[in-house]
Amino acid sequence: NKDFHAFDTLMAENFYNIDSSVNSILLIGHNPGLTEFINFSTDENLFNLPTTGTVIIEYPIEKWIELEYVSGKVKLMKFPKQI
């Protein structure tokens, strides 16, 4: 399955077909794809998103197809050791 370790543009392309009326997406996955996607789509330089780590990213877009490099702002990042 080519999406098993999806990251960067492959993961972003999965958002392009989401209807613009959808305001929020819950993305559940595993590494290395999630860490790479966070680094790809924000200004973060995260080494590793730990298991059960949570990141909320806000994108200044109106349509999901507008998702671009470093377009998101991390609003919350919590790791298991912080809870």
Which residue in this structure is represented by tokens 């999901």? 64
Which residue in this structure is represented by tokens 């507008």? 66
Per-residue model confidence (pLDDT) at position 47: 95
**Quick one: average pLDDT of 36-63?**
91
Return the structure tokens found at 72. Answer: 């998101």
- Which of the four pLDDT bands, split at 50, 70 and 90, describes residue 70? low
CA distance 74 to 35: 13
53 three-state secondary structure: coil
Chain mean position to CA 19: 17
